[in-house]
Amino acid sequence: MSYDNTNRGQIWPNGKKEKETHPDFTGSLNVNGVEFWVSAWKRKPDANPKAPSLSFSIKEKEAVHNEGFESAQKTIQSAPPSMDDIDSSDIPF
């Protein structure tokens, strides 16, 4: 029997937090079979660590993957021309 993780999620303390603006917690969430990344911040500095009041940011995992792909494609498209595209008469030596 496999575990059904649909409509469930979890967050954990962010062990990679380096700046105050980084999330206090990170994790993942499944909503109707769609996977999401979750970032969460404590709203108040004195929030109870066992039941903090949180503010969330949620991004679809596939959308984040596609953003990285699109960014890489833009980088490739803006790459310098190859040596075949350079007119050798423009080289001063």
Distance CA 47, CA 4 (A): 32
- Indicate the pTM of the whole model: 0.58
pLDDT at 31: 92
How far from 73 is each of 33, 60, 65, 76, CA to CA, in Å?
28, 20, 13, 5
Domain ranges of the chain: 9-76
Q: Torsion angle of alpha carbons 73, 74, 78, 84, nearest 10°?
A: 20
pLDDT at 75: 45
pLDDT at 56: 83
Backbone CA torsion sign across 67, 69, 74, 78: positive
pLDDT at 92: 53
pLDDT at 62: 83
pLDDT at 18: 95
Q: What is the pLDDT of residues 50-91, one digit of tens each?
A: 776 778 888 888 876 666 555 554 444 444 445 555 555 555
Q: What is the pLDDT of residues 10-55, one digit of tens each?
A: 999 999 999 989 999 999 999 999 999 999 988 777 777 777 677 8
Distance CA 55, CA 8 (A): 18
